[in-house]
Amino acid sequence: MRTSIKLLAAFMLFAGLNPLRGQGRYFDISKNLEIFANAYKEVNHSYVDDLDPSKVMRSALDAMLEGLDPYTNYISETDIEGYRIQTDGKYNGIGAQGFKMGDFVVITDIDENSPAHKAGLKAGDAIVSVDGQSAMGKTEAEVLAFLRGFPGTEADLLIRRPGENKDLKIKLTREEVDIPNVPHSGLVSENVGYVYLSTFTREAARNVGNAIQAMKNQNPDMKGVILDLRGNGGGLLNEAVNLVNLFVPRGEIVAVTKGKVR
């Protein structure tokens, strides 16, 4: 509170000495936005080919943010599904992951009770087509994009399964799929537990804590825990801090952030 009062007093003093400085900053922003708009209009009018406004603006946004730091990114409407996966651990799809092998993406993992699991898909199935669109030569990202969609919509898959003489047709209904951030945990010896944390999505720290408590209930004499972060793609900072709080005494500084927004 004392720091806030000092900052407020300093701001009021500074504003009193130079009341137009804040207005000048917004004027600079407005002026540069006008310059950008005029430049785009001129290019759009004079360039030999037609421009795609969405692509041009996306390139401009990416270039602007690229000059700041590696971690500031623009998330478009089409990218929001990937963002949900990173933060919430949820997405709309069939609940299967795949890996490119040869000409096709082959299913490697299937989430329990997911649409893929209910429809009978198996690890090793090669995805030949989705809703009539050939998957041959497509990347993992392209095929997974075919599989995603609104909950309740159907997907028609053509699958090539090892040992089968002909391709199989499978129909399934997309759902909202939860990706568990603690897919594996348990005692690896009498006194040592193991927890695999795949990503720092929402409730990650709570789920780790619950897994540890379950192992303690199983063996009250448990002495230590192996926390496996291999392959963890990161995620929410507050979940990482909450996780550290499970192991570090209260009052210890575990993270420092800097920015305009608290």
Same domain, 107 and 150: yes
Residue 20 has a pLDDT of 53
Considering the domain architecture, whether residues 172 and 189 belong to the same structural domain is answered as no
Residue 155's beta-bridge partner residues?
172
Residue at 232 is within a domain = yes
Do 122 and 201 share a structural domain? Answer: no
Buried b (16+ CB within 10 A) or exposed e, 21-30: eeeeeeeeee
Examine the domain organization and report whether 91 and 167 are in the same domain: yes
The C-alpha atoms of residue 81 and residue 160 are separated, in whole angstroms, by 28
Within a domain: residue 249? no
DSSP letter assigned to residue 91: E
CA distance 226 to 96: 28
**Which residue numbers in the chain have pLDDT < 70?**
1-22, 78, 81, 260-262
- The verdict on 123 and 200 lying in the same domain is no
Say whether both 27 and 107 belong to one domain.
no
Residue ending a domain, choose from 152, 178, 204: 178
Q: How many domains does the chain have?
A: 3
Q: Is residue 133 part of a domain?
A: yes
Could you please report the per-residue DSSP string of 45-90? HHSSS---HHHHHHHHHHHHHHTT-TT-----GGGHHHHHHHHTSE
* Residues 127-180: tens digit of each pLDDT: 999 999 999 999 988 898 899 888 999 999 999 999 999 999 999 999 998 888
Q: Verify that 167 and 229 share a domain, yes or no.
A: no
Instruction: Kindly give, in sequence order, each residue whose CB lies less than 8 Å from that of residue 229, ignoring residues fewer than 6 positions away.
Output: 197
Q: Are residues 152 and 190 in the same domain?
A: no
Residues 6+ apart with CB under 8 A from 248: 254
- Say what percent of the chain tops pLDDT 70: 89
Task: Note whether 167 and 91 are same-domain residues.
Answer: yes
In a domain, 261, yes or no: no
For position 3, what pLDDT does the model report? Answer: 41
112, 122 contact by CB (below 8 A): no
Residue 240: domain span: 184-244
Same domain, 188 and 225: yes
Hey, is 134 helix, strand or coil? strand
